[in-house]
Amino acid sequence: MTRPLSVGLAGLGTVGAGLLKLLRDNAAVVTARAGRPIAVTAVAARDRTRDRGVPLTGLRWYDDPVALAADKAIDVVVEAIGGSEGPARALVTAALAAGKPVVSANKALLAVHGAELAASAERAGVVLGFEAAVAGGIPVIKALREGLAGNHITRVAGILNGTCNYILTVMRERGREFAEVLAEAQKLGYAEADPSFDIDGIDAAHKLAILAALAFGRPVAFDAVHVEGIRRISALDIAFAGDLGYRIKLLGLARRTEAGIEARVHPCMVPQAAPIARVDGVFNAVVAEGDFVGRIMLEGRGAGAGPTASALAADLIDIARGRTTPVWGAASGALSDAPSVPMAAHVGTYYLRLMVVDRPGVIADVTAVLRDEGISLESMLQRGRSPGEAVPVVLVTHETREAAMSAALARIAALDAVLEDPAMIRIEPA
């Protein structure tokens, strides 16, 4: 029998334990597809006493992940530690320097240091696999880098964070406020004790930076991604979105324009009939548009032991078969130097919700500001009257530039009759 592919696994949390279980439970199918057995032979983790739910007997154990990378009996290193710095970065750097292929589920590491690590992998002539870093078990990395390799990709968009999608889904279905649903999500294990990484959009931005690099064939550029989260989304805005024929989703969107690459993460209103609008709960989805393939959409579970282990195993099978692809789809010298487009240059339509004192002249003051900034209105919605009291007013604009909208919002917020900061949500066509 062909010699097994020997794997060194760093990190025995949910993801690492899930990979161990998959490689053992599905050993026969993995061997058939890889052409040889794949076996974890060494591990690195901090606590040797903790029960991971899988047997660890017979495995060589390292307390220091970097020492794992130096084990000459290991053919490939799997990094399942997490984080953009510290042990994860040190391990991957050391493994590539030692000429060992690396498979990682670490979106933060790839988003922040992906250009540097890709260069290291290219110099060493080894694989850096990261299918598991974006959208869990959805094979979106292979789809963009290999399946759509013959296309010019013009746009990629997706629901990239299951925690946010779950919160927005429950808010819509039950008419509840953000803070209440977040607390419930934490109790159910869908949100971390400190949920800021998810709800402030950072997790989705890491993943979008990776997708944009693959889609547009340029070095990863996390710093160029505009990021907003969902903390300010209210049940009132979700209800108004429904009235207008939309659903609110936190989307990552990257687009090729004549000026360069636009990459942004923020809440969006999408038409209720759009396929991505119907992706609910903890599910993820990615849409890609190519010049020959048209539009495709991939949907599935974006996190968890099983889906992430599935993606890690796919990369290991490629390595066992000797299949190699440049990290970002092309050699470093062939990557694009397309510039990043600032958010202020974005052009789109906008939803505005104002809480104003119900008195004559208020709407005239608001529309005067919009007129001065060159913004025209498509529609206005006001329900009921309450003279002298606060009432919501909803405005939907025609296409306008982000910079103009930002200037208008600052002026509208300063009006005496406007009682709180305006709520603004960008509208995406699909």
Cα distances from 285 to residues 272, 292, 351, in angstroms, run 15, 21, 24
- Based on the residue annotation, tell me whether 207 is a catalytic residue of this protein: yes
Determine how many CB atoms are found less than 10 A away from the CB of residue 354. Answer: 26
Residue recorded with tokens 């969902």: 230
Given this model, what pLDDT does residue 310 score?
95
133 contacts 108 by C-beta, under 8 angstroms: no
Query: How many CB atoms are located within 10 Å of the residue 360 CB?
Result: 7
> Dihedral, CA atoms, 178, 181, 187, 193, nearest 10 degrees?
-10
Residue 175 to residue 237: CA distance in whole angstroms: 10
Whole-number pLDDT of residue 253: 98
Return the CATH number of 344-427, one of 3.30.70.260, 3.90.1150.10, 3.40.190.10, 3.40.50.2300: 3.30.70.260
Q: Which of 92, 95, 36, 87 is nearest to 71 (CA)?
A: 95
Written as six digits, the tokens of 155 are 């746009």
Report the alpha-carbon distance of residue 288 to residue 205 in Å, rounded.
17
Q: 3-class SS at 309?
A: helix
DSSP structure class, residue 147: I
Residue-range domain boundaries for the chain:
5-133, 140-301, 344-427
How far is 169 from 80, CA to CA, in rounded Å? Answer: 29
Beta strand 283-290 with 423-427 is unpaired
Contact 9, 80 (CB under 8 A): yes
For helices 162-174 and 235-243, give the axis angle rounded to 10 degrees: 70
157 - beta bridge partners? 253, 287
Token pair, residue 207, equals 């993943």
Residues of the chain with pLDDT under 50: 1
Q: In the 8-state DSSP scheme, what is residue 428? A: -
Predicted confidence at residue 384, as pLDDT, reads: 66
C-beta of residue 80 within 8 angstroms of C-beta of residue 11 = yes
- Over residues 383-412, the pLDDT tens digits come to 766 776 888 999 999 999 999 999 999 999
pLDDT > 90 in the chain, percent: 84
Q: pTM of the prediction? A: 0.93
CATH class of the 140-301 domain in this structure: alpha beta
**Rounded-to-integer distance, Cα 104 and Cα 96, Å:** 12
Q: How far is CA 378 from CA 230, 244, 349, 392, 394, in A?
A: 25, 12, 9, 17, 11
Show the tokens assigned to 306.
């099983």
Burial class (CB in 10 A: 0-12, 13-18, 19+), 38: buried
Q: Which of 107, 142, 207, 249 is catalytic?
A: 207
HSE-up (13 A, CA, CB side) for residue 171: 29
Q: 5-133, what's its fold?
A: Rossmann fold (3.40.50)
Residue 142, both tokens: 């292979």
Q: Letter for the amino acid at 323?
A: R
One-letter amino acid of 297 = M
